[in-house]
Structure 1
């Protein structure tokens, strides 16, 4: 027979209401009582009926998180930050990866709404989709993550990617590199478009500089390796003298291609810079210069924003961090 709240209350010598508070609002109960009730819960093997509780409360004890690619260490750090803030609030994080597919993203949005989550964090595949606003209108708070929402309809936590792209290209130009290449894609991703725009702005300030765009189908190591192989296969006079990658995974793939072919030396022949500053960047065979984003802090801040009263005018609904440059051997030797 399943153990219920009444059984826990009787064994702990407290009221059913006290047990309920320990489960849902432990800050209202004396620490010694919380410890006693939790000990009884463990001894009896009590498991709360969370589905029933959700129906009564109208909300679950979770938030939803949808990222573009859970295999990207940048998003793993974002998720850790989100989990840290959620845990402080007694919540859990339900996570899904859209894999840059609007169809997959829609399925997760529907699932999270069915689960009555407290709110949804999403790195959108298409920021113009009305699905986010509809979800917010239905009473489920939505915060765009790693994407800016300047209209104020939705909350957002992002990094200025145009500035980040400018930082990367300006660094290469300051080193005397003039034949730059940008490797990234797909173009539909706002992050890719903004980073490219920032690089173009930097190049415009140098009459003798040029920027080639090398498109890739995904921001992955495999896509980077294939792009690197194509570049290495060119005649030497057609090589760029510097490459700015839309993220670190692409840059790591290019490093791998150059190492496998043995034809291109980094940074002697081609300087290389990535974006995100994931752990792999500093640990690469040639430590990778990268544009750093505060990934953990972004996840933490986004959950914090979800938990704030949206009608409170004192609550910042649009947080935009500035990127930083982490300079390593792949550009400076």
Structure 2
């Protein structure tokens, strides 16, 4: 038999309205009454119809989170930070992967709108934000993560990737590297483009050479393939410093350099990654990386959902020095 609010009210000796207040606005009800209602709920095994309540309210208690690539632990850390902060507000986070597919991104935005999400957080694929702007115009708060602010109707939280690229390259230059390669791609990704621009600015200021090695994806496999290609060059034409666009690429490069090429890292080639994901410190040679505060990005995005649209928060990156550079 299905237990309803009236059954709970009868067991607790209160009205159905008091049960509703005890569940949704306990501050309006005497503590001893709240406890009687909760005891009745436990005894009867009552489960409230949250879907119906959300329908009446016009919004669910869920936040949609759309990330670029679930394979990258950086986005898992963003989701962890968002989920921990959302829990404090009685919200849940539903995570989806756009897989760097623009059409899929749009479908996910539409899906969260249909589900009456209380807000949407996303790492957008491109600068085309029309579908996010339409969602915001319908009254759904939108926060873009890892994206610079360029829309008054959307809030953003990001890290200065140009500065991160500059810091990584300046670190390699300070180690005495004179032939530096940037390994990353696709170049259409804003994060890759900004990190390269920062690296190029640092190299240019120092009068140093910077080579761009384009890869198709930011994965360990593509990083390893790039490393193997660099090793096929004569020793004098190899870079003596490498800046990888993210840590997964850096791990693949490290595998190629140390496991198949007999190259000493950092003595022969210094290596810097980006993101400082958890296992960067646990690679065969602990990885020097540019840290992004991933969990803080996620937590801040949740907080921005409750604020006026058009807020922009930007964090500073930092180089975490370990054994590879």
TM-score range, shorter-chain basis? Answer: over 0.9
Instruction: Provide Cα deviations, 1:29-48, integer angstroms capped at 9, x if missing partner.
Output: 45554454344334333222
Structure 1 residues 291-302: aligned runs within 5 Å: 291-302=290-301
Partners of 2:28 and 2:301 in 1: CA distance: 26
Partners of 1:51 and 1:117 in 2: CA distance: 12
Deviation at 1:106, TM superposition (A): 1.3
Q: Secondary structure at the match of 1:281?
A: helix
On the 8 A contact 1:169/1:202 being kept in 2, the answer is: yes
On the 8 A contact 1:152/1:318 being kept in 2, the answer is: no
The equivalent position to 1:325 in structure 2, one of 315, 319, 323, is: 319
TM-score, normalized by length of structure 1? Answer: 0.93
Deviation at 1:78, TM superposition (A): 0.8
Q: Secondary structure at the match of 1:320?
A: strand
Partners of 1:252 and 1:27 in 2: CA distance: 52
Instruction: Provide Cα deviations, 1:91-133, integer angstroms capped at 9, x if missing partner.
Output: 1011101111112211211110011011100000112231010
Q: Secondary structure at the match of 1:205?
A: helix
2:280 corresponds in structure 1 to 281
On the 8 A contact 1:79/1:299 being kept in 2, the answer is: yes
Deviation at 1:265, TM superposition (A): 1.6
Partners of 1:328 and 1:238 in 2: CA distance: 26
Q: Does 1:129 align with 2:129?
A: yes
Partners of 1:57 and 1:33 in 2: CA distance: 25
Deviating more after overlay: 123-132 vs 22-31? 22-31
TM-score, normalized by length of structure 2? Answer: 0.95
On the 8 A contact 2:258/2:265 being kept in 1, the answer is: no
Where in structure 1 are there 5+ consecutive unaligned residues? Answer: 311-315
Deviating more after overlay: 39-48 vs 168-177? 39-48
Partners of 1:142 and 1:257 in 2: CA distance: 41
Q: Secondary structure at the match of 2:105?
A: helix
Deviation at 1:212, TM superposition (A): 0.8
What is the CA RMSD across the aligned residues, in angstroms?
1.7
Deviation at 1:85, TM superposition (A): 1.6
* Distance of aligned partners of 1:26 and 1:305 in 2 relative to their CA distance in 1, 3 Å threshold: farther
Deviation at 1:263, TM superposition (A): 2.5
Partners of 1:231 and 1:25 in 2: CA distance: 64
* Distance of aligned partners of 1:4 and 1:195 in 2 relative to their CA distance in 1, 3 Å threshold: same
2:242 corresponds in structure 1 to 243
Instruction: Provide Cα deviations, 1:143-201, integer angstroms capped at 9, x if missing partner.
Output: 10111113433100000000000000011011110100111111111111000000000
On the 8 A contact 2:120/2:142 being kept in 1, the answer is: yes
Where in structure 2 are there 5+ consecutive unaligned residues? Answer: none
**How many residues get paired?**
325
On the 8 A contact 1:150/1:318 being kept in 2, the answer is: no
1:211 corresponds in structure 2 to 210
* Distance of aligned partners of 1:13 and 1:265 in 2 relative to their CA distance in 1, 3 Å threshold: farther
* Distance of aligned partners of 1:99 and 1:175 in 2 relative to their CA distance in 1, 3 Å threshold: same
1:159 corresponds in structure 2 to 159
Partners of 2:30 and 2:259 in 1: CA distance: 63
Structure 1 residues 1-333: aligned runs within 5 Å: 1-30=1-30, 33-207=33-207, 209-310=208-309, 317-331=311-325
Partners of 1:284 and 1:11 in 2: CA distance: 59
Partners of 1:162 and 1:146 in 2: CA distance: 12
Partners of 1:227 and 1:12 in 2: CA distance: 68
Partners of 1:58 and 1:124 in 2: CA distance: 26
